[in-house]
Amino acid sequence: MDTLTSGGGSPEAGPGQGEPGPAALSAEAAARDSYGRLLALLAASTSDLAAAEDALGDAFERALRTWPSQGVPGSPDAWLLTVARNRLRDQWKSARSQRTLPLDAGQDALAHIDEIDVDSIPDRRLELMLVCAHPAIDRAVRTPLMLNTVLGFTAEQIGRAFSMPSSAMATRLVRAKKRVKAAGIPFRVPDRADLPARMTSVLEAVYGAYVIDWATGPQARQLPSEALHLAEVLTTLVPGDPEARGLAALIELSAARAPARIDAEGRFVPLADQDPALWNQQLISRAHEHLRAAHARGQLGRFQLEAAIQAVHCARGTEGTTDWPALLSLHRILHAIAPSLGSGVALAAVTAEVDGPAAGLATLDQLVEEAGPNASRFQPARATRAHLLDRLGRKEEAVAAYESAISLTHDTAEREYLKTNERRCLLQSRGY
């Protein structure tokens, strides 16, 4: 998976400018859209995540070598699944594997590529997520494990989201995958009685996918489709769970604004400057349905609060103004019941809108002091600090803060936005 998303050289390029050709683009699309589903199908019979990942990685590498000359198959997913299964079958035929691993003849029998309809095979990603959330897996690594195996994010991306070095995150993931195999965790949706204990980790993973997708920027994905799909699946699995409903609403409200995040010239557009006419009203309406269903349960939770915050922002499209006092109240409640770096930074930003930038900066500084070293790697804290210093007229300090935020920003459009603000502050600090 990493080889397809690392930005390395492609074996096939378009004419003249080194652009990826149809074969590379098809492989990248399969990696982006089908990796988790294919991995879940491969791992289902043995729960050996490491072997399934190796087999699927080999299949992608073979695709990049052969598709440019032989052409992209009619069903890339079926081709990848077949090649990966054949790789696993070769391992099973070894003397060691014959003694230790059972062969599922129904699922793993040789099949011609043209006979495989991947879309007709049940999607087993949810089972894989619940495997990753099993009590035998360390609680701290459950969400990262789901993000890596089911949703295909790299250790680097996950480490960045968790403010952790990628090497440390990679080590944790390897250990967790070995634990899945060693514990013999059954690959199935657990009984209803066992679901609540695992749902928190599953919801966190889907939320993590949404956060990473959002931070990746709209150049990569116009909508957080995987997170959106999985959130909806969870609402059908546990329709009475208000937090599942809240998470679905949160992702849909955020996704609704995605088309307005970038202007026609590819520049980042802050929320306050977005054109509400570009927002997806169908997604907003669906999100409100989830919020109403969650509210009816009378059990307030983090994701419902975050969704309510997004709903207030989206209300600007119909009311023309943002209700900042209401947002401040919601953010205070959110930070009280689910404190995090993200909730604290958002609280500081909204405090600045209600009580002024000095109050917002004081809130932010207190948060950073309490959070310790982790805060230094959290890009939103750096960007918010730069913005508040800018508003206070402390231009030289703002320049330094913008530089720090830029160094931690991976979205191209947002980097350019921050650089523009940095240049303006630099000129103003010199009297221009």
Among the listed residues 387, 391, 399, 388, the one whose alpha carbon sits nearest the alpha carbon of residue 429? 399
CA of residue 4 relative to chain centroid, distance:
17
pLDDT digits (tens, 9 = 90+) for 73-121: 888 888 999 889 888 888 776 645 455 555 443 444 434 444 556 666 7
The enclosing domain of 181 has a CATH number of 1.10.10
What's the rounded Cα separation, in Å, for the pair 196 and 122? 23
Among the listed residues 190, 175, 203, 172, the one whose alpha carbon sits nearest the alpha carbon of residue 134? 190
Q: Count the domains in the chain.
A: 4
Assess if residue 330 is contained within a domain: no
What's the rounded Cα separation, in Å, for the pair 336 and 152? 32
pLDDT (0 to 100) of residue 424: 96
Assess if residue 339 is contained within a domain: no
Reported confidence tier of residue 15, pLDDT bands at 50, 70, 90: very low
What's the rounded Cα separation, in Å, for the pair 389 and 402? 10
Domain final residue, candidates 63, 81, 112? 112
Same-domain check for residues 12 and 97: yes
- Mean pLDDT for the stretch of residues 214-234: 66
pLDDT (0 to 100) of residue 24: 80
**DSSP code at position 20:** B
- Sign of the torsion angle spanned by Cα atoms 399, 403, 404, 410: positive
Same-domain check for residues 161 and 272: no
Collapsed DSSP state (helix, strand, coil) of residue 270: coil
pLDDT (0 to 100) of residue 318: 82
Same-domain check for residues 259 and 364: no
Same-domain check for residues 377 and 279: no
Assess if residue 333 is contained within a domain: no
What φ, ψ does residue 422 adopt, rounded to 5°? -65, -45
Same-domain check for residues 204 and 269: yes
pLDDT digits (tens, 9 = 90+) for 340-384: 999 999 999 999 999 999 999 999 999 988 888 777 788 999 999
- Percent of the chain whose predicted confidence (pLDDT) is above 90: 40
H/E segment holding residue 324: helix 324-337
Same-domain check for residues 136 and 173: yes
Q: Contact, 158 vs 147, CB < 8 A? A: yes
Assess if residue 338 is contained within a domain: no
Provide the mean pLDDT of the chain: 83
What's the rounded Cα separation, in Å, for the pair 54 and 77? 16
- 275 pLDDT higher than 90: yes
Reported confidence tier of residue 8, pLDDT bands at 50, 70, 90: very low
pLDDT (0 to 100) of residue 104: 47
pLDDT (0 to 100) of residue 280: 94
pLDDT (0 to 100) of residue 34: 81
Assess if residue 271 is contained within a domain: yes
- Percent of the chain whose predicted confidence (pLDDT) is above 70: 85
Same-domain check for residues 371 and 283: no
pLDDT (0 to 100) of residue 350: 98
pTM for this entry = 0.74
Same-domain check for residues 2 and 100: yes
Assess if residue 45 is contained within a domain: yes
What's the rounded Cα separation, in Å, for the pair 336 and 357? 22
Domain boundaries, position 139: 123-188
Q: Contact, 47 vs 137, CB < 8 A? A: no
- Mean pLDDT for the stretch of residues 283-311: 95
The enclosing domain of 402 has a CATH number of 1.25.40
CA atoms within 13 A on the CB side of 125: 24
Same-domain check for residues 203 and 310: yes
Range picked from 46-55, 73-82, 148-157, 415-424 for highest mean pLDDT: 415-424
More confidently predicted of 181 and 335: 335
pLDDT digits (tens, 9 = 90+) for 250-268: 999 998 998 899 898 889 9
More confidently predicted of 53 and 334: 334
Same-domain check for residues 23 and 138: no
Q: Contact, 386 vs 360, CB < 8 A? A: no
Same-domain check for residues 27 and 134: no
DSSP string of 195-222, one letter each residue: HHHHHHHHHHHHHHHHHHHHHH-TTT-S
pLDDT digits (tens, 9 = 90+) for 202-217: 898 888 878 777 665 5
Assess if residue 193 is contained within a domain: no
Same-domain check for residues 295 and 250: yes
